[in-house]
Amino acid sequence: MRVGFWRFVEALRERGLKASFAVNGTAFKIYEAACQAALDAGWDFVGHGFIQRPMHKVEDQKKAIADTIEAIRAFTGKPPRGWESPGLTETEETLDLLAEAGIEYVCDWCLDDQPVSLATRAGPIVSVPYTVEINDVVLTAIQGHRSDEIYRRGVDQFDRLYAEGRENARVMGISIHPYLTGAPHRIKYLEMLYDYILGHADVAMMTGAEILDWYKATARQGV
């Protein structure tokens, strides 16, 4: 967070892009400057647990969700619309609790290349596609690939989804963390991937909240 995060800020700013910022409720005191930079840049704040702990190990999920939402609201002036559980973890009750708390979309379900509506006891909540493939934790920390793997795999995935997208839109997530892709020897490969994607026509770079709004609008139109 001390260095890599700011490389992300600059890479996105130079390209006119915004990020979805998955953030713990405690981060606003620990990493206040980074959170302020994300707010100033207009990023989409996404709830990520109050502390970095799997949801099935949280004693009171309802309180943790409420505390996270309140921390984001207090800092940004509005509650988050999206949620990504730490480690993508959930229990059978998590989605119900999130929907009851007013969360509109989740990023825990890597089950489709398009948004999907999920049923809860409080009404539907939307799954916005996340990724464990174009994800630096998996690529680097788990699989131990070379520094350029996010670019090479990202290009391959984009090319396929771009071709399929001629008939119906596809969503490609890119999941990055400051201590991994923000390192000096890796950041250029993220920038190269952004530039490759931006070099194609009919591509929209969106935050999770923007994808949610697009999905709801097209669903209403029956597209």
Q: Identify whether the C-beta of residue 118 lies closer than 8 Å to the C-beta of residue 95.
A: yes
Q: How far apart are CA 17 and CA 144, in angstroms?
A: 28
- The reply to whether 223 falls in a domain is no
Look at residue 223 and tell me whether its pLDDT is greater than 60: no
Domain containing 40 equals 4-215
- The reply to whether 206 falls in a domain is yes
Exposed, middle or buried by CB within 10 Å (0-12, 13-18, 19+), for 207? Answer: buried
- pLDDT, position 219: 82
Structural domain count of the chain: 1
User: How many residues does the structure list for the chain?
Assistant: 223
- The reply to whether 133 falls in a domain is yes
Q: Identify whether the C-beta of residue 55 lies closer than 8 Å to the C-beta of residue 49.
A: yes
Task: Name every residue whose Cβ is closer than 8 Å to that of residue 122 and which is 6 or more positions away in sequence.
Answer: 96, 99, 100
- 173-205 pLDDT, tens digit each: 999 999 999 999 999 999 999 999 999 999 999
- pLDDT, position 222: 60
- 3-45 pLDDT, tens digit each: 999 999 999 999 999 999 999 999 999 999 999 999 999 999 9
Look at residue 144 and tell me whether its pLDDT is greater than 90: yes
- 59-98 pLDDT, tens digit each: 999 999 999 999 999 999 999 999 999 999 999 999 999 9
Which of 38, 30, 45 shows the shortest CA–CA distance to 6? 38
Q: Would you tell me how many other CB atoms lie within 10 Å of the CB of residue 130?
A: 21
- The reply to whether 220 falls in a domain is no
Mean pLDDT for the stretch of residues 110-124: 97
- The reply to whether 13 falls in a domain is yes
Mean pLDDT for the stretch of residues 137-155: 97
pLDDT band at 221 (very low <50, low <70, confident <90, very high): low
- In the chain the beta strands, taken as DSSP E runs, fall at 20-23, 44-47, 82-83, 105-106, 116-118, 125-127
- The reply to whether 87 falls in a domain is yes
What is the secondary structure of 121-180 as a DSSP string? Answer: TTS-EEE----SSSBHIIIIIIS---TTHHHHHHHHHHHHHHHHTTTS------B--TTT
- pLDDT, position 193: 99
For the chain, percent of residues with pLDDT exceeding 90? 96
**CATH (domain of 172):** 3.20.20.370
